[in-house]
Chains A and B, each alone.
Chain A
Amino acid sequence: MTRESPVPAEAFPATPPVASLVNVGLRYGKTLALDNITLDIPAGCMVGLIGPDGVGKSSLLSLVAGARVVQQGQIEVLGGDIASARHRSRVCPQIAYMPQGLGKNLYPNLSVFENIDFFGRLFGHDRREREERIARLLGRTGLAPFASRPAGKLSGGMKQKLGLCCALIHDPDLLILDEPTTGVDPLSRRQFWDLIDDIRRERPGMSVIVATAYMEEAARFDWLAAMNAGRVLAVGAPGDLLRRTGAGTLDEAFIALLPEESRATYHKVELRPRTHRPDETLAIEAEGLTMRFGDFTAVDNVSFSIPQGEIFGFLGSNGCGKTTTMKMLTGLLPATEGIAKLFGQQVDPHDMAVRKRVGYMSQAFSLYVELTVRQNLDLHARLFHLPLAAIPGRIQEMARRFDLEDVMDVLPDALPLGIRQRLSLAVALIHGPEILILDEPTSGVDPVARDALWQELIDLSRNDNVTIFISTHFMNEAERCDRISLMHAGKVLVSDTPAAIVEKRGAATLEDAFIAYLEEAGAGTAADAPVPPVMAENIPEADPPSAPAVTQQTDPKRDSGASLFDFRRMFSYARLEGLELRRDPIRATLALVGSVLLMFIIGYGISMDVENLTFAVLDHDQTTISRSYSLDIAGSRYFVERPPITDYADLDRRMRAGEIALAIEIPPGFGRDVLRGRQVSIGVWYDGAMPQRAETVRGYIQGMHQRWLQERASRAAGAQTSAALFNIEIRYRYNPDVESLPAIVPAVIPLLLLMIPAMLTALSVVREKELGSIVNLYVTPTTRLEFLLGKQLPYVLLAMFNFILLVSLAIFFFGVPLKGSFAALTLGAFLYVITATGMGLLISTFMNSQIAAIFGTSILTLVPAVQFSGLTEPVSSLEGGGAFIGHIYPTTHFITIARGTFSKALGFADLSHAFWPLLIAIPVLLGLGAVLLKKQAS
C-alpha cells in the first residue's frame, strides 16, 4: 500500500500542474538517483518534497529547474518540455531556483547588495529598477542594514534570506527551494517561512516547490510528496498522509510509509530518566568562558556545569558560538578568558591524559575517507595507545555495537550518511571515553538513522555513565536531553530541563519557548525581523505606484531571455569577476606580481651567456711563454683563475668537487718547443657534467687558443702574417653583442602573457563549477557566449596591464630597447591575450576541479609554448607533430611580433603575416569554448 500510484491530489483539479513528470529516471554513474518517477506537481501552492538525505529530492528539483540534463522520461514545466533548449530559454526568467547548501549559488566575496545586483543585471533590469527592487527585497528580509557585508560573512539564516532575495529579484512564477532551512536555527527558520508566506500573499499565483528534511515544516505545506530511494512513496496533503497512515506526526507517518525492509531496523527511541547517583561528580564545568577573534566576541562569558552521566543539549543559531565553546572544552582553542574544566581539572591543551578521557565528534564527517571502516577504527585505537592485544577485540565490539560488521572493509564515502555518523560515533568511543562531545551529529541524517543514533547515546549515558555534550537543531532531539542550554550571539540565554523551559515561558512547545527567548534577546529585531514591504526612505522618488505597474514593467525583459547576445548580461559577469578578483588576495597577487616575478627569474635564470667560469693551470713548464698562455685565458671575461694545480690528484679532486670547470695542463718544455716550432700539445680537461656549459667552454677555449697562436705568429713574422685563404665575416643581426637578455626577454613576454592569464581564466570558470555557483548559468537567461566573454573581459584587461608592466620592465630594468613599432606590439599583445584567455576558457570546459585546472593549464600552455613556438628552436627546425602545433599555436606568432618589434625594428606592414593567425584563432577558440561549455549539469 505504500506504493500507491502517485496521482495528482484531487484537491487541486482546477489548474493544470506546474510540472508533470512521466517515467523520469536519473543515474550518476552506477548510482540510480531517480527510479522511473511519474508525478504531477500542482500549481499555485506550496509543495513539499520530504524524505531523508540522498533519496533524489535534489536531483528531482534540479531537473524541474532545468539545471540538469533530462536523461530519461519526460518533464513538462510551465507548459513545455524542459528538455528543449528553446523552451528553457523562454521560461527560465519565470523560474527561480535556490540550490541546496547555505549560500551555494551566492558569491561569498561579494556584498549582499552586489549579489542581488548581479542577478538583477542578468535578468536585464536597468539601474533604477534594480535599485528599487533590491531596496524592497532587503527591506522585507531585514537585510538592509547588512547591504555592504560580504555574503560569506553572513549567518546561515541570513545567507538563505539573501539567496531568496536573489531568487525573487525577477518575480518568478515558479520558486524552487532545495532544503532552504537545513542547518538554520528555529527563529531564522520561522522568519524564512513567514517571508515566503508574505510573498505568496502578494503573488498568489506563484508556485513554490520545497525539499525539506524537517517534517514539522512540511506539516505547513499544501501538498507533499514523500520520497525514498529514488521513488515517490506517497503524495497528498499533510492531513491526508496522516490519515492514511494513522500516524500522529509526519515523522511517524513517513516511517510508516517506508517499505517493510527499511522499517525493520527502526525502533522507537526509548527514553529512560537519569538516576542520580550519590557519588556524582562534575564532568564538565565552564566559568565565564569567553572567546574573542579580533574585536568580534564569539563566546561571551558562558558558564555551566554538567554532572557525570548527563546528556546536555546545546541549541542555538548558526554562528552563535556553539562550536567555538565545544572547541574550547576540547582544548582545540585556548579561551581568551574564563576557565574550562574537565573532571575538575583545567583544560590544558598539552595534557594528553585528559584527552584520553574525551571523545569528540566534529560537525562534518571528519574521519579518513581514504581508510576503510576497519582501518579508521584501528588507527584511532592505536593513536589512543590501547594495548595492542586488546585492539582486535575492541574493534570487533564496536563493530557489533554500532552495526558496522557488514561494512568493515568499505570506504566511508560509499556509505550513507547515517552509517557514517555511526562510524564517527564508534571512533569517538573506541577508547572508552567518559565524556563525549558531539557537534551536530545528526545534521542531514534521516529520521530512522537519527533515532538509532539517539538510542545509542541514551544507552551510553544510562548504562555506562558517559557524560554527553551534544549540539543539535532538532527540537525533538532537544526534548530527549536531560538539560539544555540555549545560546544566542555568544551568550547562554537559558539553561534548564526541557520541560522546565517550556513551563517557564508558558509556551506550547519547546520550539515556541525558544523562539520567545530568542526574540527577547533581540534576535528578532532590527537585524532579522520582516519589515513592511516598501521601504520608502530608501527609494529617492517615485515609489513603484502599485504592483501591476511593476509587472508591466517586467514584461519586456521576459523576452530578453530568448535573445542571443545581451551586452548587459555579459558585463554583469565581467563585473562579478572583477569584484571577485579584487577581493581574493592570492589570485590578485599572482595576477599582478606573478608575471613580473617570473620575468626576473627567467631573465636571470635562463641565460645563455656563460661567464665567470673557474679554471686552474697545471703548469709543468713555468716559462714566460707558458705563463702568457694562462694569462691570456685569465684575462678574458669568461674565465676566473683559481690557484694553480699541484698534481694530477689535485686536478681530479678539484674537478670532482666542481670547484673548477676547466683544467689546463702545459707540458714540460713547452716554451722551448714552441720557440723551435716543434709540435707540442696542451692538455685541456673540462667538466662535461653540464653539456651546454661544456660546449660553450670548448668554444671559448678553442677561440682563445687560435687567437694566441695568431698573435704569436704575427709577432714572430712581424708584418708578414701567415695570411688566411679567405675570411668569414659574421654579422650578428638584431643583437650585435650576442647578449642573452635582448634575445630572451622579448620571447619571454609571450610566455608569461600566456600561462598566467590562461590559468586565471580557467580557474574563474572551474571555481564556479566547484563551488556550485555555475548553477546561475544553468538557470538564468545568460547564454554561454555571454558567460564566457564576461569571464574573459577582466582577464584581458588584467593581461594588458601586465603587458605594459612587462614591457616597461624589459625596457627600463633589463635595458632591452624597443626598436620597432610600439603600436604593432600592443595590438599584437591585445589579440594574443584574447587568444590566451580564450585557451583558458576552452581548457576550463573539460576541467572540473581547480587543482586540475592549475596543473592542466600549465601543462597545456607551457609545453607547446616553450617547445614548439620558436622560443629556442625556430618552428622551421621542428618536424612532425611539433611542427604542426608550432605553426598554429598563437605563441609562435606573437613571438614573431615581439621579436620583430623589439629587436628587428619592424612595424605593422612587415608583420602582417603574424597578425592573421591570431585574428583567426580568436573566433575559433571562443566558438569551441561556447560549444563545449555545458548549459546544464549532466
Chain B
Amino acid sequence: MSLSNIIQLGIKELRGLARDPVLLVLIVYSFTLSVYTAATAMPETLNRAPIAIVDEDRSPLSTRIVSAFYPPLFTPPELITRSEMDRRMDAGSDTFALNIPPDFQRDLLAGRQPVIQLNVDATRMSQAFSGSGYVQTIVTAEVNEFAARYRATGEQPVDLAMRARFNPELNKIWFGSVVQIINNVTMLSIVLTGTALIREREHGTVEHLLVMPITPFEIMVGKVWSMALVVLVAAAASLALVVQGFLAVPIEGSVPLFLAGAALHLFATTSLGIFLATLAGSMPQFGLLLILTLLPLNILSGGTTPRESMPEEVQFIMQAAPTTHFVSLAQAILYRGATLDIVWPQFMALILIGLVLFSFSLGRFRKSLK
C-alpha cells in the first residue's frame, strides 16, 4: 500500500469532479437550495384547512362560532345544509364539518349541555389530527367567553407547566434543514463514489489502473477519501452558511463533533456506493438501485418519522444501516448539544458498520475486476 498512490488517485477524482458541471450543480443545489426549500416547505401544523359549518341554530352564539374560523388556519367556512354535508365530505371538499344543532344557544344557557358534532375526514391524517384539536379549542373558547357573561366557570386546580426542550417553539425549519443535510450527505456520497467507479469502468480506465503498480485497495481508498471530503466540506459549509446563517437555526452542540460523526458515516456510505456500483452493470441500473436503497435508508432511519413508532423488526433491521446511527448522533449533537460521552455508542456503531461495508465492497470490487 502506498500513501502517495492513494493521494494521487484521490486528487485525480477531485480533478475529474471539478470538470463535471452536472455533478457540481447537484452538489451545490443539494446543500443550498434543497436545504432551504426542504426547511421552509415543511408544512405548518395547519394551513387553510377546509371547513364547512351546518348552522341549524342561527343564534348570536352560532354566528360567533362561524366567524371565529378564518385564514390562515382555516378557509373561510362554507355554510351548508345538513343534506349537503355527507356529499361534500365524500367528494373530499371539506376536512371538517361542524354541525351546530337547533336551539344550541338556548340549551346552553339553560345548562342542558347541548352537543356540537364535529365531523372529521380521518383519511387526511395530519390535518385531521391537529386540526380537530384547533376546532375544539376555538369553539370552546368562543362558547366559554359567551357563557362567561351569564355564569361563572371554575378554575382548574392542577395545571401543566409545559416546556419543549431544544426547540422551544417547535420550529419546523430547525428540524427540516438539518434532516435535509443528513439525507443529502447520504445521497451524494453514494452517488459520487458510485458514478465515479462506473464512469471509470465504462471508459476502461479501471483496467488501465490495474496494469499499473496499483492495488484495488488503493483505488478504492482514493475514491472514498476524495468523495467523502467533498461531501464533508459541502455539508460543513451548508451547516454554517445556510442553516446557521441564512435560516438562523441555533446549533446547540459542537459542529466539529458532528463533522467527525459525518466523516465516519461517509466512510460507510462511500463504501456502499462502491458496492452498488459493482452490482450495477451500467449507469441506469445504478440509478434504479440507488432509488431502492436511498428511500429505505432515509425513511426508516428515524430522520423522517420517529423510529419508536415503527415495528420492532424494522427497528432491528435498521440497526445495520449507517443512517440510523448518523441521524441519531446528528440529532443528539446538533439539537440537544450532546457530547462525545453521550454519543460514543453511535460512533462505535458507525465505525463497525463502515469497516464491514468497506471490506465487503473491497472484496466485491476486486472480484468485479476479474
Contact = CB atoms under 8 A, between A and B. Distances in A.
B291 A383 contact: no
Contacts of B165: 655, 685-688
A384 B212 contact: yes
B36 to A, nearest CB: 15
Interface stretch (B121-129, B230-238, B348-356): B121-129
B63 interface: no
A366 B204 contact: yes
Interface in B325-369: 328, 331-332, 335-338, 342-343, 369
Contact of B119 (A726, A731, A738, A873): A731
Contact of A366 (B9, B123, B203, B292): B203
Contacts of B309: 607, 609-612
Q: Which of B128, B147, B283 has the most CB of A within 10 A?
A: B128
Interface in B84-114: 87, 89-93, 95, 104, 108, 111, 113-114
Interface in A900-915: 900, 903-904, 906, 910, 913
Nearest to A878: B48
A657 B154 CA distance: 41
Contact of B158 (A330, A380, A602, A681): A681
A608 B126 contact: yes
B370 A334 contact: yes
Contacts of B129: 608, 738
A873 B92 CA distance: 12
A598 B294 CA distance: 11
A94 interface: no
A906 B342 CA distance: 53
B247 to A, nearest CB: 14
A874 B129 CA distance: 14
Interface in B50-95: 50, 75, 87, 89-93, 95
A341 B158 CA distance: 90
B320 interface: no
B8 interface: yes
B117 interface: yes
A168 B342 CA distance: 74
Interface in B114-142: 114-130, 132-133, 135-136, 139-140
Q: Which of B129, B292, B309, B342 has the most CB of A within 10 A?
A: B309
A622 to B, nearest CB: 17
Given A370-B16, A689-B167, A725 B147 contact: yes
Contact of B8 (A383, A587, A594): A383
A684 B210 contact: no
Interface residues of B, number: 124
Contacts of A605: 296, 299-300, 304-305, 310, 314
A818 to B, nearest CB: 13
Nearest to A366: B204
Contacts of B116: 726-729
Given A683-B161, A734-B121, A653 B336 contact: no
A695 B130 contact: yes
A370 B15 contact: yes
Given A731-B120, A738-B129, A371 B16 contact: yes
A516 interface: no
A371 B12 contact: yes
B211 A854 contact: no
B331 A598 contact: no
Interface in A755-772: 759, 763, 767
A590 interface: yes
A385 B161 CA distance: 70
Interface in A672-694: 674, 677-694
Contact of A851 (B4, B171, B284): B284
A691 B171 contact: yes
Contacts of A738: 122, 125, 128-129
Contact of B167 (A691, A701, A877, A900): A691
Given A332-B369, A366-B208, A691-B171, 6 more contacts: A358-B211, A383-B214, A692-B305, A850-B282, A900-B90, A910-B91
Q: Which 8 residue pairs across A and B have the least CB separation, nearest first?
A: A688-B164, A688-B167, A366-B204, A854-B287, A735-B122, A850-B284, A605-B299, A352-B213
22 contacts: A350-B215, A355-B213, A364-B204, A368-B12, A382-B8, A383-B214, A384-B212, A586-B288, A601-B295, A608-B126, A687-B166, A689-B167, A692-B172, A692-B175, A705-B160, A728-B117, A728-B136, A732-B122, A733-B119, A850-B287, A854-B284, A874-B49
